[in-house]
Structure 1
Amino acid sequence: MKKPLIVIIEDEEDLLELLEYKLSKEGYEVEGFLSTKNVESFLEEEDVDLMIVDRNLPGLEGSEFVKSLRNKGVETPIILLTAKNADIDIETGFLRGADDYITKPFNMNELVLRVKAVLKRVKPETFENILYFRDIKLDLNKREVFIEEEKIDLTKLEFDLLYTFIKNKNIVLSREFLLENVWNKDEIHQDKTVNVAIKRLKEKIDPKKKKNYIEAIRGVGYKIG
């Protein structure tokens, strides 16, 4: 039940660290390289789901590296990330084997959406109905939850509650919103119903109270982030 593994090749160390941080927070396993050196041996040893490759790399230019991988039969989906934004550069990138092309400067949230879109397109059966948050994995088809690859038993209500939080991560959700979207609208519930359910959920997903997935925002509601 491993997380999708993404390889990033980017020679700007600060940007590489930012990409690693952002994609890790989105629930991906990330391996970063500052050049193409050692990448091919890594691809031979690991089952990589996606690559993000800068074009302006030391040594072998990024799109040339992509072309060499394609010529060797590597089919891993690849997103080129580059400041080269002329039409001919974009065309060349696709012709050499890229699945998508993002030009710098770019919006980090857009990059995340493109990553998800490429993964869904190439492996829809694997990624379409799976959500990740930090070390939590939700399999929506099987309605199963894994934390650090260990299965956690949740009730239907707890699963729906966790799903709602992750789907709306970093957004403060009011008790009214949770009652309307998680509980049956036709039933009468009180705010304490939400409080009790969240307390039980937190006890199951964070029994040692060290991870603090769900945060109470006083007077407003709760958020996961």
Structure 2
Amino acid sequence: MNKDIKIAVVEDDDNLRFLVSHRLQTENFQVIQCSNGVDAEKIILEETPDIVLLDWMLPGKEGIDVCESVRKAGFENIIIMMTAKSQDIDKIDAYSFGVTDYITKPFNMDVLVAMIENKVRFFVPKTQNEIYHFGQTEHHPNVHSLMRDGKKIELTILENRILLHFLQNKGRDITREELMEVVWGYSSNVNTRTLDMHVVRLRKKIETNPDKPYYLQTVRGLGYKFINDEAENPA
């Protein structure tokens, strides 16, 4: 399994934060860490980790408030809440604030790693070594990035999944519903505006003129289509 995954560990208990971070590093994950809610919000938005392990009770700003804030700011990657609260109502609250999943303390470290492995397996493409080409750009889905003119352009996990689906279905009209199922899964309650927002951000990374996209075109009333006819490419 690909391990080029960055995980933020946000926990005010120094011992637990050290233990979790150390274990994840031994599993070859990249780890960044902090101990309070204010720093957490800043680090999540600046570093855009693929997965956030977020303690519920934090000094400065509670984990649930951090989650709500970064979601409103456009952070769409995985957030796993670490909580000592085990009542169902708290779990429902967590989902309503944008938590992807939760793990109840005290937890077995193997269970935590298994949960993370499961998320990585779902969100990171299975085409580990395949490289896709369009125009002067290479897409490396296994490290969710683009290469153009010798420069690396980072993609979020969700942007990566969206682009990969388009590149595997060039020239085909793809409905928003299909895209949402591919990217978020069948049980998702994500709305189409969120999908459109990710498409806008993706265009800024792949298009010469994002306002007049060449590759990632809108199909009115339906969804999108990815065009890759180099003969017609004005660039």
TM-score scaled by structure 1?
0.53
Instruction: Report the Cα offset of residue 33 of structure 1.
Output: 0.5
Equivalent residues in 2 for 1:14-163, closer than 5 Å: 14-125=15-126
Q: Do the aligned partners of residues 17 and 127 (structure 1) sit closer, same or farther apart at CA in structure 2, a change above 3 Å counting?
A: farther
Q: Do the aligned partners of residues 95 and 67 (structure 1) sit closer, same or farther apart at CA in structure 2, a change above 3 Å counting?
A: same
How many residue pairs match? The answer is: 130
Deviations 1:10-43 (A, max 9, x none): 0100000000110000110111111123333333
On the 8 A contact 1:53/1:62 being kept in 2, the answer is yes
Question: Which one-letter code corresponds to 1:108 in the other structure?
Answer: M
Corresponding residue for 2:8?
7
Deviations 1:157-185 (A, max 9, x none): xxxxxxxxxxxxxxxxxxxxxxxxxxxxx
Equivalent residues in 2 for 1:185-224, closer than 5 Å: none
Q: Do the aligned partners of residues 2 and 25 (structure 1) sit closer, same or farther apart at CA in structure 2, a change above 3 Å counting?
A: closer
Which SS does the other structure have where 1:64 is aligned? helix
Question: Which one-letter code corresponds to 1:63 in the other structure?
Answer: I
What is the distance in 1 between the residues matched to 2:129 and 2:103?
22
The share of aligned pairs that are identical, in percent, is 35
Deviations 1:52-79 (A, max 9, x none): 0000111211112101111111112110
Corresponding residue for 2:157?
none
Question: Which one-letter code corresponds to 1:28 in the other structure?
Answer: F
What is the distance in 1 between the residues matched to 2:63 and 2:30?
22
Instruction: Report the Cα offset of residue 47 of structure 1.
Output: 4.1
Q: Do the aligned partners of residues 127 and 17 (structure 1) sit closer, same or farther apart at CA in structure 2, a change above 3 Å counting?
A: farther
Corresponding residue for 1:147?
none
What is the distance in 2 between the residues matched to 1:25 and 1:12?
20
What is the distance in 1 between the residues matched to 2:29 and 2:14?
19
Q: Do the aligned partners of residues 13 and 91 (structure 1) sit closer, same or farther apart at CA in structure 2, a change above 3 Å counting?
A: same
Instruction: Report the Cα offset of residue 44 of structure 1.
Output: 3.9
What is the distance in 2 between the residues matched to 1:51 and 1:64?
14
Q: Do the aligned partners of residues 49 and 17 (structure 1) sit closer, same or farther apart at CA in structure 2, a change above 3 Å counting?
A: same
What is the distance in 2 between the residues matched to 1:73 and 1:32?
21
On the 8 A contact 1:51/1:78 being kept in 2, the answer is yes
Which SS does the other structure have where 1:38 is aligned? helix
Q: Do the aligned partners of residues 124 and 76 (structure 1) sit closer, same or farther apart at CA in structure 2, a change above 3 Å counting?
A: same
Identify unmatched segments of 5+ residues in structure 1.
130-140, 142-225
What is the distance in 1 between the residues matched to 2:16 and 2:10?
10
On the 8 A contact 1:8/1:30 being kept in 2, the answer is yes
What is the distance in 2 between the residues matched to 1:5 and 1:77?
11
Instruction: Report the Cα offset of residue 3 of structure 1.
Output: 2.6
Which SS does the other structure have where 1:41 is aligned? helix
Q: Do the aligned partners of residues 47 and 67 (structure 1) sit closer, same or farther apart at CA in structure 2, a change above 3 Å counting?
A: closer
